[in-house]
Structure 1
């Protein structure tokens, strides 16, 4: 019985504050939209893939060559993101950023048991992202020959500037949805807090409910 009464009271609070809840949700959602479209700079991604192989001729490769290449994947991933590669990229392209800043823009991934490394760069323009990822791959190919004394790296798929020109972030739909939901939750918190701390009795029904006694009369407010 207590649970049903509490649920009924909660629904009553929500119903009473429905207008303010909707307004607050729309306001916060609108603020999220304004921040998304006008304050957060768009970010673009360019990606290229590198093939690691132990032999230049695919028909001459055996299981041992493939296994050796797979073991080198982790090492090559570390080299790509190392200062020897990224600082060379900064100098070659005359980028106005530090090694750690550029490192945050670079992501290297590899599917399990795959000889392909995917290098992804995120930047404020698609052209810049493509320029940086191309330079990273070029510098890596030069450096890995001297570091590892091997020549087993080739570009599998260069980045295509026309492939995807849409920004990867921010995501307006997600940001506006999160903002709207946050505004709704904030409104609910305020509504229930106000109801919890408000101990005043506003009408005859609340007197009967709180005191459990019948109301035999009331005095109307006299407007001056």
Structure 2
């Protein structure tokens, strides 16, 4: 025979096991936090920029030179605004300007 499972029975089961339903997720949270902070190694990221220059030749056209110079300006602007360069500039000014202030000067 099929037994009906009604809402009242379900609520009674949940009431009986409420402590278990609250404690188990809390224990899992504490264990996973402990593993994350104390056992797992830190992950670090790095970034780099590569500047590629075209070879100079006598057959370059003036238009191509202007075009590449305009593209180089954008590249140099990004390099100057990079945190690595701005940190170096900030150190040369003895910390008078923060990296964020220097970046705002360049906009």
**Common fold: TM-score over 0.5:** no
More helix by share: 2
TM-score, length basis structure 2: 0.43
TM-score, length basis structure 1: 0.24
Higher relative contact order (CA 8 A, sep 6+): 1
